[in-house]
């Protein structure tokens, strides 16, 4: 590609960093560009959210750094160290791919890394990825916006400490669909706060675990039912909580979630379930 020559020529011996969204986990939901960059990378610095299937696409000769961060995990690498690692690798003249689950700019902290690189004059680019909310919505059959039901969608950080920052009154007033990322251990707290701030108990709440991955699971209730009928405990995968009027469409749409990649028997089961 002509662009490649210009890039290396223009930047001399300094390397560069591509901050790349790897999508929700299913390797087929990577973009064509992400795959191209990964396969040409000199070094890859990746998250815990990057799946094994995606790691299998890494080229053999490339340096790989796992800086995985999981909520509350002591083994994770602090952001400052990740920033420093990116700078060090780029200054060795390498083309570094910083691969992040989902999209780098939606709860991906890509902005902090980009800024750190910019301040050190290291060339970088941001390559968007399919965000977890799109994958969860597609997998569960919940449109995040839907004519007549929801004309906005708000994505929030659902990880425990961040719940304090949310202005719940304002959120409930906004309406639309609310998507809480990293909400695995906060499902009950989220439901309780929404109800306490006047959310309609008839609104649907869905927990989508491991969206797009083989272990994908969807559990749904009405907000007002959760106290009596708690959502089942979750497994090891990342989880998203979706709350809003369009979650009610699940009853109609969820049977489709088995997907077309399933075999003939499963498919016929699907159309029965669709009744």
Binding to another protein, residues 170-229 (CB under 8 A): 170-171, 173-176, 212
Which is catalytic among the residues 26, 47, 100, 184?
A: 47
Which among 7-15, 91-99, 193-201, 231-239 is the span making contact with another protein, rule CB under 8 A?
7-15
Contacts of 147 (CB under 8 A, 6+ apart): none
In whole angstroms, how close is the CB of 62 to another protein at the nearest point? 19
Residue 180, strand partner residues: 156, 241
Residues in 63-92 at the binding interface with another protein, rule: CB under 8 A:
none
Instruction: Out of 47, 107, 183, 221, name the contact with another protein by CB under 8 A.
Output: 107
Residue 48 CA, chain-centre distance (Å), reads 12
- Least distance in angstroms from the C-beta of 138 to another protein: 4
| CA-to-CA separations, 15 to 9, 114, 121, 143, in angstroms, rounded | 11, 14, 11, 41
Determine the Cα–Cα distance for residues 153 and 141; give it in Å rounded to an integer.
15
- The reply to whether 58 sits near another protein by the rule CB under 8 A is no
Cα gap 209→240, rounded to integer Å: 6
Alpha-carbon torsion angle 161, 228, 205, 246, nearest 10: -150
Given 59, 78, 91, 167, the residue binding another protein (CB under 8 A)? 167
Distance (Å, whole) CA 234 – CA 256: 22
Known catalytic membership, residue 69: yes
Q: Is residue 28 involved in binding another protein (CB under 8 A)?
A: yes
Smallest Cα–Cα separation from 20: which of 119, 122, 130, 121?
A: 130
Q: Find tokens 């999209």 and name the residue.
A: 103
Residue in 13, 32, 75, 236 binding another protein, rule: CB under 8 A? 32
Q: Is 240 helix (H, G, I), strand (E, B) or coil?
A: strand
Q: Does 30 bind another protein (CB under 8 A)?
A: yes
Which position among 66, 201, 267, 269 is part of the footprint of another protein (CB under 8 A)?
A: 267
Q: How far is the CB of 97 from another protein (least distance, A)?
A: 13
Cβ neighbours for 49, distance < 8 A, ≥ 6 positions apart:
22, 25, 68, 100, 101, 102, 238
If the CB atoms of residues 79 and 232 are measured against another protein, the closer one turns out to be 79
| Residues in region 122-151 near another protein by CB under 8 A | 122-131, 134-135, 137-139, 141-148, 151
- For the bound state, the minimum distance from the C-beta of residue 254 to another protein, rounded and expressed in Å, comes to 10
Query: Which residues lie across from 100 on neighbouring strands?
Result: 21
Q: Which stretch binds another protein (CB under 8 A): 44-52, 65-73, 188-196, 258-266?
A: 258-266
Question: Which residues are catalytic, by number?
Answer: 47, 69
């Amino acid at each position: 590609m002509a662009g490649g020559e210009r890039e290396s020529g223009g930047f001399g011996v300094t390397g560069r960093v591509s901050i790349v969204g790897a999508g929700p986990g299913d390797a087929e939901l990577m973009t064509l560009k992400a795959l191209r960059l990964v396969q040409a990378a000199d070094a890859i610095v990746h998250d815990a959210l990057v799946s094994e299937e995606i790691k299998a696409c890494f080229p053999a000769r490339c340096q790989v750094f796992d800086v995985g961060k999981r909520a509350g995990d002591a083994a994770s690498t602090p952001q400052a160290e990740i920033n420093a690692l990116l700078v060090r690798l780029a200054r060795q003249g390498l083309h570094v791919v910083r691969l992040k689950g989902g999209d780098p700019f939606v709860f991906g902290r890509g902005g902090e890394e980009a800024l750190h690189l910019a301040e050190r004059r290291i060339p970088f680019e941001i390559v968007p990825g399919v965000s977890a909310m799109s994958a969860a919505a597609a997998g569960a059959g919940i449109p995040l916006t839907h004519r007549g039901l929801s004309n906005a969608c708000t994505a929030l950080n659902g990880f425990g400490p961040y719940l304090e920052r949310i202005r719940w009154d304002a959120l409930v007033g906004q309406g639309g669909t609310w998507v809480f990322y990293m909400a695995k251990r906060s499902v009950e707290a989220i439901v309780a706060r929404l109800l306490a701030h006047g959310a309609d108990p008839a609104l649907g709440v869905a927990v989508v675990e491991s969206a797009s991955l083989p272990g994908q699971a969807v559990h749904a209730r009405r907000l007002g039912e959760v106290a009596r009928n708690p959502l089942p405990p979750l497994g090891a995968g990342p989880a998203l909580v979706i709350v809003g009027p369009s979650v009610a469409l699940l009853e109609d749409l969820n049977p489709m979630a088995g997907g077309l990649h399933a075999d003939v028997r499963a498919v016929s089961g699907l159309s029965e379930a669709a009744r």
